A and B are shown apart, each in its own frame.
Chain A
């Protein structure tokens, strides 16, 4: 344990995802040794992001206005919605340049052991978006792991009866992996070869 301010910093860093106690300590001491203006840049970036960036009121993606860039883009198709778990998955799918529709970010996957149920995700918002009849296809692009598959199963059963085509990314994405680590080629191919699972 360290004195007040240093320990506070280590504690805060240690709460970040993927940062263990040892890494937190390493980062804290790196910041202590860094020049004042370097640290200020980091502080400014953190402040900026909290001030300017929020979640798109329509799709849940990160946005710098009420709506995100994808939702505001008039050249994109309103007929297809790609449903993903996290905003970073939007970035992964965009990299493939295969998809020209809109997105819907759920904010996670159904995971009962972690106390995350359907009501904790942006599923109601998705159904609202599907209500006006403009959407013809929903592509489920959850992570290819157990929680992602189960979430896709749940959504396919929910959306299928509405009469909208529901498709799931083709296999070829290795099971157990994170969508964000799929390379553009593999992910692009998965898009092309998506299979209809409902509707």
Chain B
């Protein structure tokens, strides 16, 4: 599955699992194919777009979609943010060019028909774009995490704000900044603890607690831990007050580790219900677990 991840020597390193190019053994590969999530698009010239993809095997890739803004374009609709696609790309000198697109996850429609989903989804795409900084460096765990989160968002099984916060905590973990909301993030002293410090990475015990730590509600700690672990039966029944406190802490966490605010985060519309969610949650639906290498979901 990962034969495409060879040392980065010229074009050959971009070869993916399902190669479509001719003679790839001895020469440059003109075409390659990959699954991809559309992170963002920019208008280019008269009718083209530059599309930023997070691909499954080639990491972040920027490519040109030629003529996709024209009404005659066959695949303009598939190259929209939130879409998960099977894309074929032609290797170019600067930017690759999209030559074929098939829809794998048509999430864009459902997401932009609900303003809360749209703002939460935009924050997820922006976070992924920021966390996967380098282009063409495989980020397979980030790919699966985002694809799962977009699906969960579009299927509305959970509150959109919770899906966003769960996604952010797990995306940060994959990026190497795993928070801890039970044991002390600094010394490992088993929790639960009462203080939380974003710079220390989560819960802190009385001995490690630096000045300026906050003391969230015990339920907020439980909610944060559930969001990090993907325990939706716990998260779904949390109440509005603790959701609000948790989302504030997740935002602070994002700002601290990205060293800059996620611009989309200020626009996220959180419609936490005034009454607690029903005790019997809807069909349990998890964001897929963070996959280990080679593990299919």
Interface residues of A (CB under 8 A from B): 17-18, 20, 110-115, 117, 145-147, 149-150, 153-154, 157, 173-178, 181-183, 186
CB distance from B68 to the nearest CB of A (A): 6
- Contact status A153-B113, CB under 8 Å: yes
- Contact status A186-B71, CB under 8 Å: yes
- Contact status A113-B69, CB under 8 Å: no
Q: Inside 8 A of B263's CB, which chain A residues have their CB?
A: 112-115
Name the contact of A181 in the complex, choosing from B70, B81, B118, B264 (C-beta under 8 A): B70
A-B Cβ contacts below 8 A, count: 88
Name the contact of A153 in the complex, choosing from B40, B45, B80, B112 (C-beta under 8 A): B112
Name the contact of A182 in the complex, choosing from B71, B82, B264 (C-beta under 8 A): B71
CB distance from A83 to the nearest CB of B (A): 16
* Alpha-carbon distance between A119 and B75 when the two chains are bound, in angstroms: 32
Residue B189 interfacial (CB < 8 Å): no
Q: Inside 8 A of A111's CB, which chain B residues have their CB?
A: 122
- Residue of B at shortest CB range from A173? B71
A sample of 6 more A-B contacts (CB under 8 A), given A178-B47, A181-B47, is: A113-B264, A145-B80, A150-B111, A153-B112, A153-B113, A174-B77
CB distance from A142 to the nearest CB of B (A): 10
CB distance from B115 to the nearest CB of A (A): 5
- Contact status A146-B82, CB under 8 Å: yes
- Contact status B114-A177, CB under 8 Å: no
Q: Inside 8 A of B113's CB, which chain A residues have their CB?
A: 149, 153
If A112-B119, A146-B82 touch, whether A176 touches B114 (CB-CB below 8 Å) is: no
CB distance from B63 to the nearest CB of A (A): 15
* Alpha-carbon distance between A176 and B77 when the two chains are bound, in angstroms: 4
CB distance from B206 to the nearest CB of A (A): 40
CB distance from A8 to the nearest CB of B (A): 23
- Residue of B at shortest CB range from A180? B69
CB distance from B186 to the nearest CB of A (A): 34
* Alpha-carbon distance between A173 and B109 when the two chains are bound, in angstroms: 14
Q: Inside 8 A of A112's CB, which chain B residues have their CB?
A: 118-119, 122-123, 126, 263-264, 267-268
Name the contact of B73 in the complex, choosing from A20, A154, A157, A177 (C-beta under 8 A): A177
- Contact status B46-A18, CB under 8 Å: yes
Q: Inside 8 A of A117's CB, which chain B residues have their CB?
A: 266-267
- Residue of A at shortest CB range from B113? A153
- Contact status A157-B68, CB under 8 Å: no
- Contact status B76-A177, CB under 8 Å: yes
- Contact status A146-B108, CB under 8 Å: yes
Q: Inside 8 A of A181's CB, which chain B residues have their CB?
A: 47, 69-71
CB distance from A72 to the nearest CB of B (A): 31
* Alpha-carbon distance between A182 and B69 when the two chains are bound, in angstroms: 10
Contact with A along B61-87 (1 / 0, CB 8 A): 000000011111101111111100000
